[in-house]
Amino acid sequence: MNRQQLIELIKRKHSFLCVGLDSDITKIPLHLQGNDDPVFEFNKQIIDATIEYTVAYKPNLAFYESRGLEGMISLQKTMQYLDQFQNECFTIADAKRGDIGNTSTQYAKAFFDKTASGFNFDAVTVAPYMGEDSVSPFLKFNDKWVIVLALTSNKGAADFQLLADSNDVKLFENVLRTTSKWGTPANTMFVVGATRAEMLSEVRKIVPEHFLLVPGVGAQGGSLEEVAKFGLNHDCGILVNASRSIIFASNEPDFAEKAKAEAISMQQQMESLLKAKGIN
């Protein structure tokens, strides 16, 4: 999915919601546990319940890789199921990869080259610590996106990301300035945590046109209104991820209905915020 298609999808659904499929098998409702593949069945029902209100899905690879081959089969089946909605959603592999160039090339094939790996994600999250040659292999695929970790919402982010140099330039600001030159707003996004919403205005001064993937709204306490206030641009320019607050809204047989209700609530808020910004 290219940039214009993503923008059109946001406008059509009046939503910039990304649902994180952090499908922890220990939290799957008990009535699904006897299923041959409870994680896939859970994901399938979450997707069916939320697809009308959601523009993106983001499986967190840790919850699949930790289960070995069975987990990767669950992920593959989930992505194959999403294939039928290819014009209805943007897909993100939350993998946080980053390594030397030849290794990153293999990671890129793993997520983007369906012939090689069976996976055909639209985007992958990448850690830029090792520099340009660790990120550039992902940018060689047409209509695919790199989502660079910039300013995250976890407590440990302050250990490095907020450190300033002698010119009082913070590390995350250097990351934004440097990595934005490796790609373009058509193939590069940045992760900026919702719990750092007040810093989004500083982020926007550096990357006014790029899309931002914003986790931390919902269970982590981030404010959707604050994110929109500081992060929205003329094309919308943000995807707000919600995981636990939607997919684990209930652990009873009504889990899909409760997930749908949470997605609708967020979509309605997003529609109002988009209208206030003049994005229709």
Task: Give the residue numbers marked as catalytic.
Answer: 96
CA–CA separation, 244 vs 249, rounded Å?
A: 7
CA–CA separation, 270 vs 214, rounded Å?
A: 14
Question: Reduced to 3 states, what is the DSSP secondary structure of residue 85?
Answer: helix
Q: Find out whether 224 and 269 touch, Cβ atoms under 8 Å.
A: yes
The candidate with the shortest Cα–Cα distance to 193, out of 165, 231, 151, is: 151
The candidate with the shortest Cα–Cα distance to 57, out of 84, 26, 22, 32, is: 22
CA–CA separation, 126 vs 190, rounded Å?
A: 9
Q: Find out whether 254 and 227 touch, Cβ atoms under 8 Å.
A: no
**φ/ψ bin of 92: left (φ > 0), alpha (ψ from -120 to 50), beta (otherwise):** beta
Q: Which residue has 């639209």 as its token pair?
A: 122
Q: Find out whether 260 and 50 touch, Cβ atoms under 8 Å.
A: yes
Question: Reduced to 3 states, what is the DSSP secondary structure of residue 149?
Answer: strand
* Six-digit token string for 106: 């293999």
